[in-house]
Amino acid sequence: MANKLKNLVLRAIALVDRGANQEARVVLTKRDDAEDAPMRKAEHGSMDECMAAGKTEAECKELMAAMKRAEEEQMPDKLPEDVTKALAEVADLKKRATEAEAAQKAAETRIAKMEDERQREVFIAKAQEFKDLPGANPDDLGPILRKAYGVWTPEEQQKVEAMLRGAVKIAQDSALFQEIGAARPAVGSALDKLNAKANELVQKDGKMTFAQAFAKVCDTDEGKAFYHQHEQEEASKAGARRVR
């Protein structure tokens, strides 16, 4: 049974020498565009052009109004449902893409922060090896080493580490530090006073080693005086041993 199609919108019509549907019958009618006659007669798109063509102002206004009405009639009041749906899908895709991009940036920021903290902990742990150096607090030395290692070559890193280990060995083998750890000095002696000051610093700053605190005390005016007194006491002891 044949179907009758109505209200079709044809975008193009082509004539062919051999049709695919030999039994099809198509009836075409011409649109009644009498209302568009003023637009065709105008042959200009602005008031200035219309007035320049020799028409009166009233005629030009009427023509401009007719052109405007024709344009408004050609604009659909509502987009087709499939077009509206497609536009909504595009908007939704854009929104999700924006959200995904923001989530990715947030994740990258979190990962970078975690990696930064991990690197910090690695170098603080590395700095623990040099904690016996005077003033070498691992929490302070670690970030410094991390920054320096980013510039130094592997060979330079090894050389610096070797030098630091040598300095640590010297500090640990120092006769003064051996005396500090080996036996308690005489009560009231200069060394006893230096030890007391160093212990006070260790109690105030739990991260500071005794050797670091002792070196810091010796760097003060009071500590220098005690240390000078300690040298005099040691010299007296050495002289007494030689007399014997």
Q: What angle do CA 197, 144, 124 make, to 5 degrees?
A: 70
Q: Where does residue 152 fall: left (phi above 0), alpha (psi -120 to 50 degrees), or beta otherwise? A: beta
pLDDT grade for 39, boundaries at 50, 70 and 90: very low
Q: Cα(98)–Cα(226) distance, rounded to whole angstroms?
A: 69
Number of helices (H), then strands (E), belonging to the chain: the values are 10, 0
Between 208 and 36, whose confidence is greater?
208
Q: Measured between alpha carbons, how far is 216 from 202 in angstroms, rounded to an integer?
A: 11
Number of Cβ within a 10 Å radius of residue 110: 10
Give the pLDDT score at 115: 92
| CA gap 72, 66 in Å, rounded | 10
CA distances from 146 to 116, 121, 190 (A): 10, 10, 40
82 vs 183 pLDDT, higher one: 82
Centre a 10 Å sphere on the Cβ of residue 177 and count the other Cβ atoms it contains: 17
Q: With 60 as the cut, is the pLDDT of residue 37 above it?
A: no
Query: Which of 6-20, 56-70, 133-147, 222-236 is least confident?
Result: 6-20
The reported pTM is 0.37
Q: How confident is the model at residue 212 (pLDDT cuts 50, 70, 90)?
A: confident
8 A C-beta contact, residue 81 and residue 108? no
* Residue predicted with more confidence, 238 or 124: 124
